[in-house]
Structure 1
Amino acid sequence: MLSLKDAQLGAFTFFASALPHDVCGSNGLPLTPNSIKILGRFQILKTITHPRLCQYVDISRGKHERLIVVAEHYESSLEDFQKQGKSVSPEKVLQIAYEVLEGLDFLNKDGLVHRALGPHNVLLDCKGNVKLAKFGLYHMTDHGADVDFPIGYPSYLAPEVIAQGWSHPSDPSHREPPRRSGPKVDVWSLGVLLFELCAGRRLLQSFDTSERLKFILSLGCVDDIVTVVAEEHGCLEVIKELPENVLSLLRKCLTFLPSGRPTPADLLKDPVFQEVSIHYTPFRKPVGLFSSSLRCAHLELPDDISKLCQDDKEDYLAERAIDEVYYLWCLAGGDLEKELTNKGIIQSKPPVCTLPNFILEDGESFGRGRDRSFLLDDTTVTLSLSQLKTRLTDVAGEAYYPLLEDEQSSLPHSNSSNELPAAVTLPLIIRERDTEYQLLRIVLFDRILQAYPYKKNLVWKEARVDIPPLLRGLAWATLLGIEGDIQAKYDSIDKDTPIPTDRQIEVDIPRCHQYDELLSSPQGHVKFRRVLKAWVVSHPDLVYWQGLDSLCAPFLYLNFNNEALAYACMSAFIPKYLYNFFLKDNSHVIQEYLTVFSQLIGFHDPELSNHLNEIGFIPDLYAIPWFLTMFTHVFPLHKIFHLWDTLLLGNSSFPFCIGVAILQQLRDRLLANGFNECILLFSDLPEIDIERCVRESINLFCWTPKSATYRQHAQPVKNMTEPNGFGKAPSYTTTDYQDSPKTDLSREPLKLSELKAEVSPRISAEDLIDLCELTAATHFKTPTKKPRSGKPKVIAVDIRSSEDFNRGHISGSISVPYHTAFGPEGELVPGPATATLQSFRGRVIVVISHAMTRASVFAANLVRLNYPRVCILDGGINKLRATGLLTVPSPQI
């Protein structure tokens, strides 16, 4: 994206054609509004970057099919020359012609045609260079099919376009859509513009529209169109005085038959531009973040290094990308409709004036006529940046150039010499709407991302604070470790050959997050189909399950114009969090996952677990869509973004904690209801506070021993290459248990039947050793150090007999013999050991025995008594005998 520099932001508006409300498509669904279609096609225009083209920034959809387009804008245009009434020098004409052709040729290579060339759409920047505006209007409207006005201006339209006529495709008398224009129509329009510059006057302005069209069509029988047009407008002498190369250019452009007219690419190679072209260097498209090419190959230091030192009056905002400036403008209170209303472009009318007309049986009509406001008013309104600049007055210039060295700051949330403002302590939704805060975060993330993968650790570090929404797509990709030439890999996948899954994909897409305008557009459906099919084809060992489309939605939304990146992110996300979930027979994977989730509910909230088990409301009834789609099926996209910002920092066990956090938000309603009411509750899930859910998930995650979520069907990881997501230093909660090398103290796999028979999770001996050494839970952002005093966060409960306990036990453990612990009613028998156990209620309780069955029953009894955080030592006391950690009490003297 180009920087703002001396450009401005401009906005113009038009209406899409309205569709009848009582008509459905072939699939039985309502027709997609034309404004949604235009919005989807517009997105690709934002990726077109060239020095001769105005950068498209955004499109906004309003009421009654209104669309507002935001783009790079300049106040000066070729129209200024016409207003002066003087002819332009031949040298300037050739320069303008060459620069216009450069822009047109670049468009043609992307399969686009301008079709709306006019003097007010050929803008000039502060250096007098050409910037073509509104070049995307013809493309975004499906070549004029989705609007009620023709694309182009009668005085500048090519003869073949005029001869074709215009009829709206919705007109029943027009059975076939009009033939699409090719690149040569713009060459004719350029010829008319150049002629006007040479003559110093507008052409055909004394004629009405019909006379203009007749005159242009009559030129078909003329040998020398340039001479005839000059005679018609009384400027023959001026035209005759032009150099031969300029006259030759005009004659080539104003060739009546398209077959004899050159394309922009042909004209650029014409000898007429031999002297002009030497002053221009070919445009190189910037290299993307994920590519095999060297991103910094084009960077050069100036001969005078002092030029890099800028004074205090520098407009730092102008150096930022134009899409960043617009995003900040919106945060600072910018309102597109208000800007257009203030300029009189949008005019409100009383409701009675907007009533449609109706026709009686005798043909007499009543009501309003055609509202001309629904035609194209291509006036571009300049958006004022004064309010934004006022908001950013207090932001120091150094903030636009943050340093990335870790030593620059000891703060866990800042890597620059400037600390983040107090807004960092505010709720996330407020931070995302704070202009100054977002500027700092965008600048910092942009700098870090440009240094990816070298500064990958800094991406993780800053993502723990928050991720700016504008850069979320790239930030997620770096958190998922995407690297290399992803486009080449994506292009190599066959996405066109029919496969059996096509039918299911076609059925699922129209139901996936269709409340979103972008994903519901036809372009969105096409991209959905391609990305999903690419994943299915490239993973022959896996199959398409319903829910894969929901998983794809966040990545496609954030990378709408980069299918390859959406596919790469999705391909990296699924193995990490949904390993083997998409096997043809995934029942054993799902069942193990749900069983571990059920154990974690009992671990963190035994009262809720007991109630749900008592009424038979098991996770199989509600949690499969949660985990199969990582909550994208149950939450809207804006909540998924905040949820996944944290999810991507955690390991594959973090979704368990999210699920428990959701249940705890619904805790009171679940405890008060029975099975049927719970089913109804989850059929229409109540509003969930996502920020609270994330906060509680982190707390649950930090209280969960990593081996408690062990799954033998989780992804095997050979080595740990990712930074810790939830702290600066390693802890027992930061990495997957599968990431650790297996030892004799590791947890052993269980049969699914054995796993389901246990209420509490098992933890490994190595986890127990670590837990006994830790005395404070790890905080999400800054792990606390081991305090010198205080109760430990874990208690080991040895349920063997007193004799066995005295032969050897873990230091600090308490002896609660199995046979003496519980009374006939299942209550704890009072005694010193049980009193100590009760004093540790709320801490991690590890049940140790030599028989796993007894340990499982003992733990189940504690859970039944609503003891939280109860777990079992996997392998029992025998796992610890070879460690030398068992102690024997000293004999009494």
Structure 2
Amino acid sequence: MRPLRDAQLGAFTFFASALPHDVCGSNGLPLTPNSIKILGRFQLLKTITHPRLCQYVDITRGKHERLVVVAEHYESSLNDFQKLGATVSTDKVLQIAYETLEGLEFMNKHGMVHRALNAQNVLMDGKGRVKLAKFGLYHMTDHGADVDFPIGYPSYLAPEVIAQGPAHHSDTSQGDNPLPSGPKTDVWSLGVLLFELCTVSSLTQPSRALMIDRSLTCLCFFPLGCIDDIVTVLAEEHGFTITLDSFGLAFSSMFRACRPTPADLLADPVFEGVSCLYTLYQQPVGLFSSSLRCAHLELPEDIGQLCKDDDEDYLGERSIDEVYHLWCLAGGDLEKELTNKEIIQSKPPVCTLPNFLLEDGESFGQGRDRSFLLDDTTVTLSLCQLKNRLKDVSGECHLLTESPNELSCTVNLPLIIRERDTEYQLIRIILFDRLLKAYPYKKNHVWKEARVDIPPLVRGLAWAALLGVEGDIQAKYDAIDKDTSIPTDRQIEVDIPRCHQYDELLSSPQGHRKFRRVLKAWVVSHPELVYWQGLDSLCAPFLWLNFNNEALAYACMSAFIPKYLYNFFLKDNSHVIQEYLTVFSQMIAFHDPELSNHLNEIGFIPDLYAIPWFLTMFTHVFPLHKIFHLWDTLLLGNSSFPFCIGVAILQQLRDRLLANGFNECILLFSDLPEIDIERCVRESISLFCWTPKSATYRQHAQPPKAQADRSASCFGKTATHYSSDYQDMPKTDLSREPLALRDLKAEVSPRISAEDLIDLCELSAGGQTKKSKAGKPKILAVDIRSIEDFGRGHISGSVNIPYSTAFSADGELAQCPATGTLQSFRGRVIVVIGHSMKSAAMFATHLVKVNYPRVATLDGGINKMKHTGLLTVPSPQI
């Protein structure tokens, strides 16, 4: 969106027509309220940006089908000329006509017409340029079908529009509907407007009666047969005589048998002198495009002078949607503003009772409430409170490339408080705006700042940057056939009306239409994969954030699925799902053995509750506002991070799970209790940092990339070790080997690779164990070989507990190995090392049964370490 500059924010309100409550659609579901339909159509208007059009910003839905629209606004309008009786020069008339036509032509290119053109809706900015207001009312109301009032003003409507009558067809077939108005309708309205401007102001002054020739420029807007009648009626009303001959022959070429379109008029020779004063408007290049975004960038010679003026209105340089977002954070309330101006008037309930008719036709009760008709008054939203909140924000903050130090205190506050802090959000929005405009050059900086938090206003673009979306995504999306019928269409049609339909945007017909297109584009462009139920839920966050950019929603979804759900959407995905759930079971045992033991004992396995979690990445179980906060962190982690989220959710329900049996747990998960997402995210990061990266190795995960992106550390210095997927790391002799699903299921504890063990033990070249800052090793290696084998070579710092002393030859427990030696190491990562993986797995299983957390086994056993040169032999005692 363009900067606010000298514009203001304005709000107006109207009611959508109410639907009967006892009527359902053809699918058996209740009819979508007209206000929801209008809200969905409105979203397109936010993308219509042109110097001659007032920018639409937001729409909110209130009680009783009330809608409040926020848009760019100016106090001055064309109506001011008429009120003041001002003299309008021919040049000014030409300028107004040309600029209005520019706006109308741009609307026509987007398939829209104004239909509500009048003097009050032709605004003038500080430089006297035309800004068309309320141009989207006809579009958002489905050509007036969803409201109980006509769109347009009778004095300015074309004859064919009045002849058609009202267009109220919400519950009728399309064949009975009046035809939508075309571009020529606005040409008539503009003709009346200009004729009125040229004549009425001059007719109030008899000495200037001959100035009627100024209206010549507007005659081309009318059919030739109407001109004489219009002039005659106007002349009679003001008491003088005008004939068509008084207009001369100079403009005879402009008389038409039928009205032209705005595009035709812009090419008319009468505007040659005006058009040379304007440069052709070009749509700004988007973030994801094949064109250069900075091709026309101009910078001052001394950049340091940008912030020298303390009186400069920096808020005016922010985009209109940013200013409105900050206005809301600063306490702005649309309904309160309209109530203060008496646009919204509350009434006691008894005054809203409907009228009723007796048998004799006599009626009682209230008449039609006029407030449900259109009041086109626009209320200017005061920015004083917002400016007062931001008065201490220095100009230097508008040139940020790093987070300022003064935000250090605010960063430690809960996320929900930070997202409602006006000053904090302004600085974060400015910072992300600068970084995203430099994407992908500043990709690393985006990752760094996203670790702090992501401003809600830029979340869509920030997610795209974190997912590595690049290139001309619109061209790729347009090349996909989204219209030809495919077998999946039926399933998509069934799923969409059940997906996040509590949300007004996604439940609108426009939302359903976009859902279908994005989902179908993904299915068509991935022929090796199939549509599974849950894909619609996975699409929902991307579509909500990029509602007006289907291509970006599709691109984000296409980048997300391979990273976190690789091969989940195969036709036969059972082996992928089963391996995923098995690794998740091992993660539960690794982090919370007591809970794992209880769930296994009652038979409450992940297959019964976790498939919807991971197949939809929790979008099926959480509302969108929680998903946004969850995914802000998820996108910073690798493909193993969802395991940690799952464990964190279970730990929030830990007490209830431990106290219940199988049936109670089933009921608990059928209606999942409230989950504290901020706590879930915080604990997930902690679990992630405690999990060795190879412990979550999956054979069916995404194959290694040609160049793994290891430039960003996920959650700070403590998690740098886990910043990239284990699958992306170069494979060596010390890497973890693939394991058959049957063997994987047989082990309770996860395996880790030898390279992970070396890294976590921080072994030096001489085999010595480095100490952490706390003075203790990060990990404990438990060697279960015999004393003799242990003496021939072992990992420095490891503890020897021979397997034979703990278990008999037939595998029965002889002595608890967890007593004594390991008690002082409880809570650290314990890696069991032996000759045989079977014995190591059994030893680890017993530690889990006695509730030892963070127990793992070394993949390949001691044999993996023999050729590393890191085994040490104890010095002989003298």
Task: Summarize the alignment of residues 110-121 of structure 1 with structure 2, pairs less than 5 Å apart.
Answer: 110-121=110-121
**Which residue is 1:710 aligned to?**
697
Mapped pair 1:556 → 2:556 = no
- 2: CA distance, partners of 1:134 / 1:67: 14
**Which residue is 1:358 aligned to?**
356
- 1: CA distance, partners of 2:802 / 2:348: 84
AA matched with 2:238? G
How much has 1:163 moved relative to structure 2? 1.3
Is the CA contact 1:113–1:183 (under 8 Å) kept in the aligned structure 2?
A: yes
Greater shift, 347-356 or 551-560, is seen at 347-356
How much has 1:24 moved relative to structure 2? 0.3
Mapped pair 1:379 → 2:377 = yes
Is the CA contact 2:714–2:720 (under 8 Å) kept in the aligned structure 1?
A: no
Residue 836 of structure 1, aligned match among 815, 818, 821: 821
**TM-score (normalised: structure 1):** 0.92
Mapped pair 1:224 → 2:239 = no
- Structure 1 SS opposite 2:176: coil
Is the CA contact 1:167–1:174 (under 8 Å) kept in the aligned structure 2?
A: no
Task: Summarize the alignment of residues 266-285 of structure 1 with structure 2, pairs less than 5 Å apart.
Answer: 266-285=264-283
- 2: CA distance, partners of 1:845 / 1:421: 37
- Structure 2 SS opposite 1:716: coil
Is the CA contact 1:245–1:272 (under 8 Å) kept in the aligned structure 2?
A: no
Residue 636 of structure 1, aligned match among 616, 623, 643: 623
How much has 1:727 moved relative to structure 2? 2.5
Task: Summarize the alignment of residues 479-558 of structure 1 with structure 2, pairs less than 5 Å apart.
Answer: 479-558=466-545
Is the CA contact 1:399–1:418 (under 8 Å) kept in the aligned structure 2?
A: no
Greater shift, 712-721 or 837-846, is seen at 712-721
How much has 1:835 moved relative to structure 2? 2.3
Mapped pair 1:680 → 2:667 = yes
Task: Summarize the alignment of residues 172-183 of structure 1 with structure 2, pairs less than 5 Å apart.
Answer: 176-183=176-183
Change (3 A) 1:238 1:388: farther
Mapped pair 1:802 → 2:797 = no
Identify unmatched segments of 5+ residues in structure 2: 205-221, 765-769
How much has 1:467 moved relative to structure 2? 0.1
Identify unmatched segments of 5+ residues in structure 1: 205-217, 405-414, 776-784
AA matched with 2:454? I
Is the CA contact 1:90–1:243 (under 8 Å) kept in the aligned structure 2?
A: no
Residue 332 of structure 2, aligned match among 310, 331, 334: 334
Residue 741 of structure 2, aligned match among 752, 762, 766: 752
Per-residue Cα deviation, 1:242-261 (whole angstroms, up to 9, x for no partner): 98699669x75xx6x7xx10
Is the CA contact 1:816–1:834 (under 8 Å) kept in the aligned structure 2?
A: no
**Which residue is 2:722 aligned to?**
733
**Which residue is 1:211 aligned to?**
none
Is the CA contact 1:796–1:812 (under 8 Å) kept in the aligned structure 2?
A: yes
Change (3 A) 1:825 1:445: same
Change (3 A) 1:694 1:272: same
Per-residue Cα deviation, 1:641-664 (whole angstroms, up to 9, x for no partner): 000000000000000000000000
Per-residue Cα deviation, 1:396-434 (whole angstroms, up to 9, x for no partner): 1111221x2xxxxxxxxxx15554252111000010001
Mapped pair 1:456 → 2:464 = no
Per-residue Cα deviation, 1:292-334 (whole angstroms, up to 9, x for no partner): 0000112224589897465110011000000000000000000
- 1: CA distance, partners of 2:597 / 2:816: 23
How much has 1:84 moved relative to structure 2? 1.1
**Which residue is 2:632 aligned to?**
645
- Structure 1 SS opposite 2:325: helix
Change (3 A) 1:97 1:221: closer
How much has 1:364 moved relative to structure 2? 3.3
Per-residue Cα deviation, 1:442-496 (whole angstroms, up to 9, x for no partner): 0000010000000000000000000000000000000000000000000000000
Residue 811 of structure 1, aligned match among 792, 796, 799: 796
**Which residue is 1:312 aligned to?**
310
Is the CA contact 1:14–1:375 (under 8 Å) kept in the aligned structure 2?
A: yes
Change (3 A) 1:306 1:646: closer
Per-residue Cα deviation, 1:541-589 (whole angstroms, up to 9, x for no partner): 0000000000000000000000000000000000000000000000000
- Structure 2 SS opposite 1:11: strand
**Which residue is 1:299 aligned to?**
297
Change (3 A) 1:4 1:845: same
- 1: CA distance, partners of 2:373 / 2:784: 83
**Which residue is 1:441 aligned to?**
428
- 1: CA distance, partners of 2:106 / 2:831: 68
Change (3 A) 1:307 1:881: closer
Change (3 A) 1:107 1:244: farther
Change (3 A) 1:506 1:487: same
Change (3 A) 1:236 1:501: farther
Residue 345 of structure 2, aligned match among 347, 364, 377: 347
- Structure 1 SS opposite 2:505: coil
Change (3 A) 1:303 1:794: closer
Greater shift, 289-298 or 173-182, is seen at 173-182
Is the CA contact 2:203–2:238 (under 8 Å) kept in the aligned structure 1?
A: no
Mapped pair 1:878 → 2:863 = yes
Is the CA contact 1:828–1:834 (under 8 Å) kept in the aligned structure 2?
A: no
Is the CA contact 1:649–1:725 (under 8 Å) kept in the aligned structure 2?
A: yes
**Which residue is 1:109 aligned to?**
109
Change (3 A) 1:450 1:245: farther
Is the CA contact 2:307–2:395 (under 8 Å) kept in the aligned structure 1?
A: no
- 1: CA distance, partners of 2:330 / 2:726: 45
Q: Once the two structures are aligned, what percentage of the paired residues are identical?
A: 79
**Which residue is 1:234 aligned to?**
238
Is the CA contact 1:821–1:834 (under 8 Å) kept in the aligned structure 2?
A: no
**TM-score (normalised: structure 2):** 0.94
**Which residue is 2:853 aligned to?**
868
How much has 1:162 moved relative to structure 2? 1.0
- 2: CA distance, partners of 1:245 / 1:543: 70
How much has 1:801 moved relative to structure 2? 0.9
How much has 1:724 moved relative to structure 2? 2.3
**Which residue is 2:708 aligned to?**
720
Aligned Cα RMSD in Å?
Answer: 2.5
Is the CA contact 2:451–2:714 (under 8 Å) kept in the aligned structure 1?
A: yes
Change (3 A) 1:534 1:242: farther
- 1: CA distance, partners of 2:811 / 2:614: 38
AA matched with 2:15? F
- Structure 2 SS opposite 1:846: strand
- Structure 1 SS opposite 2:70: strand
AA matched with 1:864? K
How much has 1:716 moved relative to structure 2? 1.0
Per-residue Cα deviation, 1:856-886 (whole angstroms, up to 9, x for no partner): 1000000000000000000000011111111
- Structure 1 SS opposite 2:865: helix
Is the CA contact 1:227–1:236 (under 8 Å) kept in the aligned structure 2?
A: no
Is the CA contact 2:772–2:778 (under 8 Å) kept in the aligned structure 1?
A: no
Is the CA contact 2:232–2:243 (under 8 Å) kept in the aligned structure 1?
A: no
Change (3 A) 1:22 1:417: closer
- 2: CA distance, partners of 1:527 / 1:841: 53
**Which residue is 1:412 aligned to?**
none
- 2: CA distance, partners of 1:84 / 1:743: 85
AA matched with 1:53? L
Per-residue Cα deviation, 1:349-398 (whole angstroms, up to 9, x for no partner): 11011112223344433221111111100000000000001111111111
AA matched with 1:375? L
Change (3 A) 1:21 1:482: same
Per-residue Cα deviation, 1:679-711 (whole angstroms, up to 9, x for no partner): 000000000000000000000000000000000
Mapped pair 1:290 → 2:288 = yes
- 2: CA distance, partners of 1:763 / 1:202: 89
Change (3 A) 1:140 1:235: farther
Mapped pair 1:768 → 2:766 = no
